[in-house]
Structure 1
């Protein structure tokens, strides 16, 4: 007769392995509540620390804290769980949208069918290199964050002993990367004059929007969210604390909470910007009482993404193809 199986919720002999300087692994087989025997490993700086972490993990498993997905799951399964957690979090809507886009566009097409144990440091490094070459360092940085979040969830549930993203070198911008520069005073004058003479730009209400962004330094989403109540004409100040964003369920809306405390601020307005705002408040476009100072042609919230595209084309027509669409 063979050796009898471990009782459910118990583990066998603990073994140790040296995986590097000041890094020790403790591992053993544990019979999970579903009857399957699984290898569980935890790491520490010493044998005692590794064994303590392993026993804590085994204790959690024995009390029913089982992983939300099987140990041999593909990365796509864990990614779905991570995205669901992100959707339920209090992160900004734009951040949630970015993480989902990166996951569906860059991560899942290349790594989605790999088992978790197959997502190694070389695999991640090749992914980040590919994304950086095809889409730029910023996209690679976002991809790194998403992969780290997905695998971090796997580590927290005992599906992986460690997060391999931590051992993957970060991608850095090359020396040839384009650096943004500000418009000169003469270039600013030329740009505003050419926008005023551009029928398409005038129809899209871009001249005033661009002049306002140049006078305040606001991002497009912030500029689209400015309401009459945010303006103090007497003090020549503007309160900034919201941005227009899009949610899959709510559509366009003003997100009142900025991504950081620094996003909520009060800025002083130059005289020409105060005059521009007074004119728009006295003669609002699109609707008799619009919700925001810079609404769409229907008097509703402007879509920052569409506005950025319109502005990109207007800048090209105005002879400023090098200028980022933020313009400030």
Structure 2
């Protein structure tokens, strides 16, 4: 029997397309439909939808009733709803819950805040009524799903998966060259918004270079509201937003990946950079660090204080090249555990709602 998938997405990204492509390859008879938010102006990816299925922006529906009619006509057997930010997505999932296996995705970390406590005893009751499964990226989100009242057997894992084929291929070739001449370049890929802690990163890097000048540079990739106010410095490069294919030469010329966000529920970019063979410097707030960072492949800043970030830079600079290369290989090893193929396998294995659900 042919499976029909209906994805109710918020923001599309390159890794989304890699996962959907893997699903189509593993289930070629499947019909894939994707309803999504408009492409984010701060991450203006260019996508090729032709080989995957039918994509439709939510903006093209004049009303909820039109979107409902579209979905009913599709008759999905599996519906994947990304979070609960869009109330019409939840309403549609409720409408189709008896005819489709409905899967909720979430990336919220468990904080036990008052807001989460209120949601546990209000909105989460409806979610448990609608969705047979909840699909999460990591342990912090797994804990939140259980907190909301979902049972362990209802929680699917590894929802976020980067295009490991692309990044690992680039990384494998780059590591060989880096062993001969390791690039003294710190690379940060993030939107220019306050929670990404770019200002703290720039301030610490500048102080480090002023007190202990070295060959090291800092390259920043991304766009966002803060780009116009970026810090200018001879050793800091702002490369703007880059499409995945444009990242390849950057990955080859950079040495260590840095992301010190103050808020980062997951962070697929960490998976991408691990797959590309980078040693990692992260903050504790980044959910993906649980899966892709250990003592063998990187460092975690003690805090967002300038002195602690500078201290981390010093540790990187004092690490022998041979050790940095070893760390890069460890990153690739950790990254290989999750891929678009494992993502597709998880979705293929999610069965229909049982009586006791």
Per the normalisation by structure 2, the TM-score is 0.25
Structure with bigger RCO (C-alpha 8 Å, 6+ apart): 2
State TM-score, norm by structure 1.
0.26
